[in-house]
Structure 1
């Protein structure tokens, strides 16, 4: 063997041994860190059921409570007592299950203790039992604890059947209050094994099981979501009272007055979390100087004595209860500043870009992301949910203490840097951090650049960066040199800036999976190099008001899943988009005439895009009716089974009636899975909507400005319809049985019409005079909101509306005849609507 080969082999061995040594050193450092964390939080090892299972010891609770330390929660306690003191369960069962749900440290156990020790509760129940369940959920241990509380002595049996029979004997024909505090398990079989629902059937009517938990899923398992009490933050006044009670317990009035202003600022940091108020109150209790209090005010929670151990401990327990992938999704939220409003779908796209949503099925990642989001939401890591008018969550926030917690866990990997006023755009990076996710905020107008010369540690730092986010900034471009230093970037968010160009060097970021350029209103074009980003999954261009075209080679983006272009004045979409087999979301498709078939995406190209899901809007139809009709037929919209929203916009014109609109509407027939349908400006007839009867899952329908339509479509038998808005139908004069979906000759109609309709709106119906239905039929029994605006000829409301008990809101505006008939106290029909709680009758002149 040549000596050269031998030397190379020896060198390789030395390098290999060196690498092993370095890895061992890193592992030892990690173990030391874990050991320190274990000591800090008081974790210890325990043996359960003969197995050496390591778990976090939850603190044990009792039913005893110090009432002098309870502030606020008056409404919650009132609600809880009303349920507990109810003589019978309205659902018909012998007992009631009441879950108290909220994030760690919110006061769930305290509320349960307060109710448990209430005098009225003590008089109402024959027996009360308090069990701290915690985790793991041990059926035998819980059964033994119940027996010991009932009998006064422990039971030595380890047979669950014997224990359950014993419980049954001692609670039979007694009114029982059973509190299960700190329930964690989502395993339905554990709950079923305990057989409490069966055993409780032997109790006296009015018995209750009160459960405290951090997980809404527990309430679902116990089939008790209707009785759930959710604890939100304390209001500022009560939180301050709790803090002051602890902080100034041993302080004279003069000292308290001097420190009170600082205390108020400290309480604002608690954001209504009782545990934080208690912890910080006890922390400053023995601090007597203004400087000491200001140090507490200005420090991060995890830098404070007791702060990390006490405030974060409940959150840490919830965190360790998550599966690893969901943990990563939670920690990624640290890239955003406090009080940031998350958009659910956007957050899922970001998780996807970091490869946190692993799935063998390529189309399953969004569903997995939805599940992860719900898992975090149901454990109270998110709050302040925003919902659309169908009740679907689309946005949320994170409690400041939770945000502090995720920042604490990621403080050297996720960094937020706020620009200093008057500084230039050169961003200096912290050398001692191994930052993977960087957020820059409040950058002034101008180009963005990182230093061109780094020491070796900073070069490594920048090279391994995975996320760059700019928020509340005004950059005009990002320097090519900065882009070239971040070649491992997965996520780039330059939204809401003043970008006038994107450098061609962007094509060098071959690992990029997510790019958001939305709301850059002066951005006119994208470089062709964008099409070299073959790993790109999400491209967001929403509301780029000056962007008129996309690069022709978009077909090269073979992994693109989500393309958002709503609000862009694009002349057309490039033809290559039709060949993207991974594309799932295309929020806006503009029909374009006068562009060659080999250049622009056509309606017919939608025919092979069956993987589209979520939302799809098509506009603007009505320019070339015959050609569009043929293309829409070939688009095979009926095959798009994953679409939940479908919107169609026709060209706006009220001068003449376009021929062919009805044929186009007929060809628009979507898949029966559709949930929302919007159609604007059609000149067709509602007969062309014959297919609407097949949309059994349709929950929301908007028909706007069908100027030449003389009758409304038959909608009464749609079983899922919840929201209906009809507007701009100028030729409609009467609403009769055809609107209900029944024929005039039908003598008997079975079932309920509009069975789930909750919100109904009529607007700008200029010639509508009569609304007459057969009174014997049950119509719209769940209607809760009715709005009628700008219908000047409508003479009266139908009688069936007066009988709807669910109707809570009635708004009449710009309807002079109705205004006279239903005028408060004096109108002839006032007595028929006076019972409606939210009633608005407003003249169109107001």
Structure 2
């Protein structure tokens, strides 16, 4: 009845299909459970009095005039960024006093009414991708709030009373600067001046701007599962290491340095599953830090290194992390040669190498990356040939050369045509032809964007 479509790098279900019979059953149960959905073709009718859960999609501006029984609402979700919720929101805050879920992501609203503090049962408040610039001080009255999602909104500072929310579990306050995550400062967090250790049930914190006050109390958040820190200075690394030791359940960690010259020196717990480091790493860090040892990184599934300025090939050290399924390098390596040797990275599915200006050759030996699905090479201007050994990656579904120069594109196309013409007469070309046959089916060439 439910078909699996795709799993993520951790093996969890990412996408699935629902059978039409199961969908009909779900719709029937939603109607029975008073789940109201207002579509454009139903805007001429008033909603039933007993509706408790409302989804707004493609409605007209005067929808609020036809909403009846608003005091019964428990859940309101908008799934269309053109919904004029700024006309409905004050009424919801005034009349729907028992609201538990309010999801307004993507709406062009700029102001949240002070009356939102009266929604004492509110558990989820979603304002992701909205135009909201400031939250009213009354949010500190939302004592039952579990999730506050302000990611990619225009909010730069949260009210100081946010630390009074004892039950808060998930706080998303990250503001994206570069949507491609390639600039050094591609995102930013918020400052929490004092009281960071008060919400002891916090499990997700994305993202926090590091400074003396916040780093001092970071270790008090012992229930954290996911943590993202921005603007980290080298002098903070000692305190951060001490704080991480207190977080027994931490599985997702992202740390970004304040500038390109700050050195990140961190050790973490062995149950870490996802690690993102954006900043310079000290010489020998891959061999000395517990982050990259089999003991410390035995559960690591995804690793992203950016602006690391490594001079030595990082792959021999990282190959000891046998459970890795994703590796992302962005300006992480200054050398000219990378090699994936036999039996390395047996579970790796999606490596991505980007912005490595000196990399000339990528070598792949038989038996390396046995479960590879996709390989993306981005802005590798010095690489002028198909990686040797590409024919060994038989499970590979997609090989992408992004932002490839015109000269490099001509060379890759020449390799394919050359192997096709020499297949029968040249035994060496016959071996490469196997890879070119694959390339003709799966190769993706993307030129650099127009400036």
Normalised TM-score (structure 1): 0.44
Q: Indicate if the aligned counterparts of 1:685 and 1:710 stay in contact, CA closer than 8 A.
A: no
- By how many angstroms is 1:526 displaced? 0.9
User: Could you say what secondary structure the match of 2:125 adopts?
Assistant: strand
Q: 1:834 aligns with which of 433, 442, 447?
A: 433
* Structure 2 residue 313 is the aligned partner of structure 1 residue 706: no
| Distance in structure 2 (CA, Å) of the matches to 1:409 and 1:607 | 45
| Distance in structure 1 (CA, Å) of the matches to 2:26 and 2:396 | 44
Partner of 2:255: 648
Q: Cα 1:540–1:645, aligned 2, differ >3 Å: closer, same or farther?
A: same
| Distance in structure 2 (CA, Å) of the matches to 1:790 and 1:531 | 47
Q: Indicate if the aligned counterparts of 2:173 and 2:190 stay in contact, CA closer than 8 A.
A: no
* Structure 2 residue 51 is the aligned partner of structure 1 residue 435: yes
Deviations 1:592-616 (A, max 9, x none): 57xxx3xxxx123221212112x33
Deviations 1:469-516 (A, max 9, x none): 333212225464542322222222222222222221111111111222
Q: Cα 1:439–1:583, aligned 2, differ >3 Å: closer, same or farther?
A: same
* Structure 2 residue 349 is the aligned partner of structure 1 residue 755: no
Deviations 1:808-844 (A, max 9, x none): 5444563757964871242697543322454138595
Q: Cα 1:701–1:570, aligned 2, differ >3 Å: closer, same or farther?
A: closer
Partner of 2:138: 529
Taking the TM superposition and a 5 Å limit, the aligned residue runs for 1:720-731 are 720-729=323-332, 731=334
- By how many angstroms is 1:557 displaced? 1.0
Partner of 1:502: 112
Taking the TM superposition and a 5 Å limit, the aligned residue runs for 1:542-553 are 542-544=151-153, 546-553=154-161
| Distance in structure 1 (CA, Å) of the matches to 2:91 and 2:370 | 65
Q: Which has the higher strand share?
A: 2
Q: Indicate if the aligned counterparts of 2:147 and 2:171 stay in contact, CA closer than 8 A.
A: yes
Q: Indicate if the aligned counterparts of 2:196 and 2:218 stay in contact, CA closer than 8 A.
A: no
Partner of 1:765: 356
- By how many angstroms is 1:632 displaced? 1.8
| Distance in structure 2 (CA, Å) of the matches to 1:790 and 1:479 | 46
Q: Indicate if the aligned counterparts of 1:496 and 1:519 stay in contact, CA closer than 8 A.
A: yes
User: Could you say what secondary structure the match of 2:217 adopts?
Assistant: helix
Q: Indicate if the aligned counterparts of 1:783 and 1:806 stay in contact, CA closer than 8 A.
A: yes
* Structure 2 residue 202 is the aligned partner of structure 1 residue 619: no
Larger Rg: 1
Partner of 1:408: 28
| Distance in structure 1 (CA, Å) of the matches to 2:239 and 2:253 | 17
Partner of 2:191: 572
The answer for unaligned runs of 5 or more in structure 2 is: 177-187, 423-427
User: Could you say what secondary structure the match of 2:115 adopts?
Assistant: helix
Taking the TM superposition and a 5 Å limit, the aligned residue runs for 1:252-401 are 380=2, 385=5, 387-388=7-8, 391-395=11-15, 398=18, 401=21
User: Could you say what secondary structure the match of 1:786 adopts?
Assistant: strand
| Distance in structure 1 (CA, Å) of the matches to 2:84 and 2:144 | 28
Q: Cα 1:562–1:397, aligned 2, differ >3 Å: closer, same or farther?
A: farther
* Structure 2 residue 277 is the aligned partner of structure 1 residue 679: yes
- By how many angstroms is 1:533 displaced? 1.0
Deviations 1:5-28 (A, max 9, x none): xxxxxxxxxxxxxxxxxxxxxxxx
| Distance in structure 1 (CA, Å) of the matches to 2:144 and 2:237 | 36
Taking the TM superposition and a 5 Å limit, the aligned residue runs for 1:584-599 are 584-592=203-211, 597=213
User: Could you say what secondary structure the match of 2:175 adopts?
Assistant: coil
The answer for unaligned runs of 5 or more in structure 1 is: 1-102, 104-379, 452-457, 741-750
| Distance in structure 2 (CA, Å) of the matches to 1:812 and 1:712 | 22
| Distance in structure 1 (CA, Å) of the matches to 2:302 and 2:43 | 50
Q: Cα 1:807–1:520, aligned 2, differ >3 Å: closer, same or farther?
A: closer
Q: Cα 1:524–1:806, aligned 2, differ >3 Å: closer, same or farther?
A: closer
| Distance in structure 1 (CA, Å) of the matches to 2:28 and 2:447 | 56
User: Could you say what secondary structure the match of 1:823 adopts?
Assistant: helix
Q: Indicate if the aligned counterparts of 2:310 and 2:332 stay in contact, CA closer than 8 A.
A: yes
User: Could you say what secondary structure the match of 2:25 adopts?
Assistant: helix
User: Could you say what secondary structure the match of 1:826 adopts?
Assistant: helix
Q: Cα 1:700–1:421, aligned 2, differ >3 Å: closer, same or farther?
A: same
User: Could you say what secondary structure the match of 1:579 adopts?
Assistant: coil
Q: 1:717 aligns with which of 314, 320, 324?
A: 320
Q: Indicate if the aligned counterparts of 1:683 and 1:709 stay in contact, CA closer than 8 A.
A: no
- By how many angstroms is 1:527 displaced? 1.0
Q: Indicate if the aligned counterparts of 1:819 and 1:841 stay in contact, CA closer than 8 A.
A: no
- By how many angstroms is 1:388 displaced? 3.5
Deviations 1:680-727 (A, max 9, x none): 3x2334622332123012222222233464542511221111222323
Partner of 1:558: 166
Q: Cα 1:844–1:405, aligned 2, differ >3 Å: closer, same or farther?
A: closer
| Distance in structure 2 (CA, Å) of the matches to 1:845 and 1:646 | 31
User: Could you say what secondary structure the match of 2:155 adopts?
Assistant: coil
Q: Which has the higher helix share?
A: 1
Aligned residue-pair number = 415
| Distance in structure 1 (CA, Å) of the matches to 2:396 and 2:5 | 25
- By how many angstroms is 1:525 displaced? 0.9
Partner of 2:215: 603
Partner of 1:214: none
User: Could you say what secondary structure the match of 1:788 adopts?
Assistant: strand
| Distance in structure 2 (CA, Å) of the matches to 1:414 and 1:843 | 45
| Distance in structure 2 (CA, Å) of the matches to 1:809 and 1:825 | 19
Tell which has more relative contact order, 1 or 2 (C-alpha 8 A, sep 6+): 2
User: Could you say what secondary structure the match of 2:158 adopts?
Assistant: coil
Deviations 1:703-754 (A, max 9, x none): 2233464542511221111222323246212336xx86xxxxxxxxxx9332
- By how many angstroms is 1:562 displaced? 1.4
